[in-house]
A and B are shown apart, each in its own frame.
Chain A
Amino acid sequence: MNLWVVLAVNSITLGGLLFLLSAGFSLIFGLMKIPNLAHGSFFMLGAYFATSLIARGFNFWAAALVGGLLVAAFGGIVERLILRRLAGAELAQVLVTLGLSFMVADVCLMVWTGDPIRIDTPRGLRGATSLLGLGFPTYRLAISLIAVIFAAALWALLDRTRLGAMIRAGVDDPSMARVVGIRVSRLFTIVFCLGAWLAGFAGVIGGPILSVYPGLDQEMLPLALVVVILGGSGSLLGSLVGSFVVGFLYNFGQAMFPELAYVVLFLPMLIVLVVRPQGLFGRQAL
């Protein structure tokens, strides 16, 4: 009995982290149709930046914000200099972002060496919280809360603000949006930066759990892909639900069918692709 409760709560906390990771990917892919395979690198870069910032005396949350901003700036440069020229060329975008991820990995290795670096859990969130008579790591519970807050904030941004309306217009009909005076190209840069920021921020937030090491990027990217495919691209609700679904699949799958850990994780994705290619909450394929 206890085992199931523990697994359920763990599923929710992992889901929170996965949402932070995949929201940015979903945003970029859903709105700009760019399959950004450098997303895992953005995640790792954020975490590495944070280790350097913390070593220079930043506190954890400041490092998370600034680390995210640095990644956002990097994302902006990538979008402006490279991806913008490849609009609509999906294969080229895949190859460029994949190549970029290798380059980022090498540079990280050069700057931060191959040694794993740990990020301390922020003060105040250390230790365990008692829940249903069982102890759970406080920090992980906090991540789920952050994920929900982020989901609400992103939804409000896209659905309730003028910027959000402009982004949606730019996505639905770029040429018409231009006619009515929306600068679509600048909007896309903003979206890409926001997506990169989310990935970088998630990297820092995940740091205390995962620690930072070469290869982290390639470990996280597939999880983001599964979430987005399950949930449906371009749908924040889809990302949120997809994250928690993957969280549950991961935890219960690994515990119940350890031999089939990856089958349990990827088979539902395959089924969704076959039965409902746009994902559980995705919009109809265009």
Chain B
Amino acid sequence: MSAVSEVDERSPMFVFTDEQDALRATVRRFLAERSPETEVRRLMETETGYDPAVWNLMAGQIGLQGLALPEKFGGSGFGFVDLQIVLEEMGRALLCAPFLSSVVLAANAVLRSGDEAACAQYLPGIAAGSTVAALAVTEAAGSWRAADLTMGATAADGGYVLSGEKLFVPDGHVADLLFVVARTAVGPSLFAVDPATAGVLREPLATLDATRKQSRLVFDGARARLIGEEGGAAQPLSDTLDLAAAGLAAEQAGGARRVLEMAVEYAKVREQFGRPIGSFQAIKHKCADMLLAVESATSAAYAVGWAVDEGSDEVGVLASLAKAFCSEAYTHCTAENIQIHGGIGFTWEHPAHLYFKRAKSTEILFGNPRHHRALLADRLGI
């Protein structure tokens, strides 16, 4: 009995349940079938950047969009770590889909607003995959902090109208529903906007990472609905961005692990000077260092995931820590993967550059490593 209780007292952190392993296997199989490299390359050349049929299968067949959303809003009520497992797999496969935008960013922005009516109205669609939503925060300055946002909203006959420009909005050009952070006289507030409404102009930006699209949105007196409290968006936004950073960290860890595998597989078979290049110490050490980065990134990503599920008050600290660390680890691994592949790694036909570009774009998304280390220092009270 005492042995059992000893086991029970062990922290559940870093131990995946059988269900979680099964979830990972299912998602990996699905992505291997539906998002092979050929599909990634096909979709990245399209303007929308994703395949609605695959999107619907994700929702209908395995319920990925609703996985971690509350049951009362049409989701399955799984935890954040479960969502991270999905994101890690998506990162490995370089899935082209507005999952991060719709499910992680937009859905959490609504949830965190505390606006039950808005949750009931919008979340079931997101969970079912029938609504693709996007969250528009950044402006020309590229900042993710509510305090730096300038776009304005004004009250007009019972509702609000928005005017101004949002830039670098992930998947904003394909979303069926936009959530926009804008400033009223009271302060930063969250609004829902139907992109079909008058006064909304959307255009895709040309992105370094073609597997994840960004857009420019221009609002010119567009009608919007207030979500949550007027002027009360700063804290929910910050919380949402912490979750998004935690989710992205898992995606980065997944991508980093994939390129490590690629590099190691290649180092074992590519021969120069009559030996596998993996037998040269220079390459061995690169691979070993990549593994340090990958394992550390995985630890960081899941540490914040478990903190989220436990309702820990350390989430903010860990999210910043993980986003900064995982970003750099991923970028490092993708650059080393190109280097280890030599000439072929610099060639378009090889997938190494796709990961390199994804790594760079995710390093910048939600704030770069320096931004997050500064945030970490603030949050630690340094």
- B partners with A: no
- Residues of chain A whose beta carbon lies under 8 Å from any beta carbon of chain B: none
